[in-house]
Amino acid sequence: MDPIPQPIADILEFSRWAPSGDNTQPWRFEIINERHLVVHAFDTRDHCVYDLDGHPSQIALGALLETLAIAASAHGLRAEFRRHSDSPDTHPDYSVDLIPDSQLPPDPLLPHIKHRSVQRRPMRLTPLTEPQKQALQIAVGKSYAVRWFEGGPQRWQLAKLMYDNAKLRLTLPEAYAVHRSIIEWQARYSDDKVPDQALGLDKMTLKLMRWVMGSWQRVDFFNTYLAGHLMPRIEMDLLPGLLCAAHFALLAHKAPETIDDYVAAGRAVQRFWLTATSLGLQLQPEMTPLIFGRYVRENRAFSRLPGAMETAANLGDRLSRLLRNDAVGQAVFFGRIGNGRSADSRSLRLSVGRLMNAG
């Protein structure tokens, strides 16, 4: 492969650290010349129950484009994006023009791109300060609002919601296929998956989980007769949900409808997350209640598991009450946040070379 020209090589080296669901990195790069490239994106809706209509992948794509714009600013370049109208939503292509701009300062979020990560373990209970919350609201811009869920009672409600939601997540055969494909076992880091040591489980639970997940028959047996989902739910959902500063929802002022809306939301999400990192805060996405809730609202079956829709409907009702009903369709991102150590184990990324060209 020919050497990648500068400054694109440096810009892509930063851009590849953008977050994506389960570290799928649903994009590839094609360099046209030193000022132009194309991002070839794709989604995983055809095999991932969590990627409903490709919207989570589109949010990730927005995070990538925002990261690219931040990285370009370090070189005095303004990144302009244009979606190819003839590319399908499942495989959208974006032209990127890097335009010299002497008035453009380096984005202050640039140093935090490679340090931003997911923290799935408990955080400290120290409340967020008003200046921190104001900085996070400013980060997402005027088209979005941050709704906070703070204090013991609200943290308990969200922790219990995530705990109950995890039972659905861990008993769906469709979700099992996803989990099995995205976990890298006996790993602290992973270039294209989630390392098991980053899941937030203790060593004994992790060892048992690895054996159980060897087949769906084992998973089904343990869940049905031995409550095999209980400890993972406690360790991955209930305790972390209680032990944090707050949960939050990012709400669009207008409910997203198009791919452009979701990509724009992803850009806001990345600025929120990088700002949190700059403030020394840790973050974990909590997206599955939003995803299953939309399946229910649109009456779309997502599993062959008996009772799955009814369970999801109950969880969706609880989420609606927490979001005050009218805001459910406007929620583009959900998560928990707080002070704490950076994750000891994390997903890494494919090299720029391996991300070149969609083919």
**50-67: pLDDT as tens digits:** 999 999 999 999 999 999
Predicted pLDDT at 61: 98
Ramachandran class of 299: left when φ > 0, alpha when ψ lies in -120 to 50, beta otherwise: left
Distance (Å) of CA 78 to CA 39, 71, 96, 141:
16, 10, 10, 19
CATH class of 130-347: alpha beta
pLDDT in tens, 107-160: 999 999 999 999 999 999 999 999 999 999 999 999 999 999 999 999 999 999
Q: How much is the average pLDDT of 338-359?
A: 91
Contact (CB, 8 A) for 107 and 115: no
Q: How much is the average pLDDT of 1-26?
A: 94
Predicted pLDDT at 1: 65
Please determine, for residue 22, whether its predicted confidence score (pLDDT) is greater than 80.
yes
Distance (Å) of CA 270 to CA 92, 276, 333, 341, 351:
19, 10, 11, 20, 20
| CATH number, domain 8-115 | 3.40.109.10
Contact (CB, 8 A) for 93 and 38: yes
CA gap 291, 301 in Å, rounded = 12
Predicted pLDDT at 359: 46
Please determine, for residue 194, whether its predicted confidence score (pLDDT) is greater than 90.
yes
Q: Where in the chain is the domain with CATH 3.40.109.10?
A: 8-115
Cα–Cα nearest to 113, from 18, 241, 187, 184? 18
Give the SS3 label for residue 336. strand
> What pTM did the predictor assign?
0.97
Please determine, for residue 358, whether its predicted confidence score (pLDDT) is greater than 50.
no
Whole-number average pLDDT of the chain = 96
